[in-house]
Chain A
């Protein structure tokens, strides 16, 4: 279980990588990964390739990031979803709120 981030200044992009279960235990680490980022200048990518499971509080955390990024579907992308993670995002219809790969 971990949350790490990579900042690409050239692309003005912050990538947040989730490994293991993405649930309420990651709340603080996930928020810490973006709270000091200038949301006007940067866009966000959440990489869920290593995430084994997503619960509804993880969906809530994605909504907080979306809100932080300006509440616009184009500013947060979600990439690398496995079958279980994709199922959860699809049921919640989050493709309407985020760019899903």
Chain B
């Protein structure tokens, strides 16, 4: 096997005309079965500043390439054993994503053969006999392409590393954040719930907490936008919601407090659309408030009831208008309630139709009394948005409005008993 050859080195060492430092342009592999051709090219390349290594057939070329990692390859076509086309194919496989230019030096002239050089993975070709100036120019052009590719590859590697780091940090932050927000939730096993974030962080929020009378309060919210910026606002909301609900503070005051906090911390263009519902400890009364969320739907024995948005989202005005207070409904056995975020209604199909205009209403209309809706709804959504990328957070919560949601009233309290109701 011819490795980095002493002949070329000694040739260039003795050459007083050598304009550049030997080897400064990297290592060139010369593949040719004719020793005189190798020697001639080796001399020329050494003069151009290349360290040269040689191979006398295709198999040797692949082996030398794998062992020495040259920076450029000059390939003959017709050789015994595997030819230049096959050797190039194998060399390109060994090189993988690293770009090492292969220039064919061939006696073949018909266009078909030249095309085969490129198809085999060659980057350029020169027909023998070639002028030295032309070869010099081609090498320069190839080096330019190679350097560009190396720059891009290096940047790509940096970018991949950064992206990977970013993903890990996001996953960690999401874990901490979502635990901090949801770890105080209660009775989640009694709710039917589907949450599908569009990014690592979920801008949709579901909070539950028991009232001192054993009743249950639920908040379903949707921050402007999604991702980290949307999710981070959930912390102060969750804090106020859980603490005040456990103390039995009424709906209007909890909403006023969350609104106040968000108005203080969020920029003007950010807000939280939210629905808040409370079920009394005896399971007989529902109180609801809807600020900027899609309608809540209640299926009762006498039909479907829409609880439409009647209030502004939270965090926009410094104080909530008095006319936007929560409303009451007396519950009856078998009542069920559905809450959704707009990500569900606006999910598009391949024809760009939103789910709200394409199937959602029909599903509501066919909702049988006292039966779960969510399985049907999810199936229809999946069929609707098949092959489409999800662009917004999706949240659906279905609640059977009966006293099984409630818990035994808290008896041991330090504060004055309140039921969070009046």
Contact = CB atoms under 8 A, between A and B. Distances in A.
B384 interface: no
Chain B contact patch, size range: 20 to 34
Contact of B292 (A24, A64, A84, A93): A93
Interface stretch (B42-50, B78-86, B263-271): B263-271
A63 B294 contact: no
A64 B316 CA distance: 11
Given A57-B224, A90-B309, 10 more contacts: A60-B271, A61-B269, A63-B268, A63-B271, A64-B269, A84-B354, A88-B342, A91-B292, A92-B273, A93-B310
A57 to B, nearest CB: 6
Contacts, number: 52
A59 interface: yes
Binding site secondary structure of chain B: loop
Contacts of B293: 91
A57 B269 contact: yes
Contact of B313 (A55, A90, A92): A92
B292 A92 contact: yes
B309 A56 contact: no
Interface in A80-99: 84, 88, 90-94, 96-97
A32 interface: no
B372 interface: no
B268 A67 contact: yes
Contacts of A88: 342
B224 A59 contact: yes
B292 A60 contact: no
B215 interface: no
A96 B324 CA distance: 11
28 contacts: A24-B225, A56-B222, A56-B224, A56-B273, A56-B342, A57-B225, A57-B269, A60-B268, A63-B269, A63-B316, A67-B268, A84-B354, A88-B342, A90-B309, A91-B273, A91-B294, A92-B273, A92-B309, A93-B291, A93-B292, A93-B309, A93-B310, A93-B311, A93-B312, A93-B313, A96-B312, A96-B321, A97-B312
Interface of A: 24, 55-57, 59-61, 63-64, 67, 84, 88, 90-94, 96-97
A67 B270 CA distance: 13
Contacts of A84: 354
Nearest to A90: B309
Binding site secondary structure of chain A: helix
Given A91-B294, A97-B312, A64 B268 contact: yes
Which of A56, A60, A84 has most B Cβ within 10 Å? A56
The 10 closest A-B pairs by CB, nearest first: A60-B269, A56-B224, A92-B292, A67-B268, A91-B309, A64-B269, A93-B312, A60-B224, A63-B269, A64-B268
Interface in B253-298: 268-271, 273, 291-294
A61 to B, nearest CB: 6
A84 to B, nearest CB: 8
B342 A91 contact: yes
A63 B273 CA distance: 14
Interface in B298-340: 309-313, 316, 321
Interface in B204-228: 222, 224-225
Nearest to A96: B312
Contacts of B294: 91
Which of A57, A60, A84 has most B Cβ within 10 Å? A60
Contacts of A24: 225
Contacts of A61: 269
Given A64-B268, A91-B294, A97 B273 contact: no
Nearest to A87: B356
Contacts of B292: 91-93
A93 B308 CA distance: 10
Which of B224, B309, B311, B392 has most A Cβ within 10 Å? B224
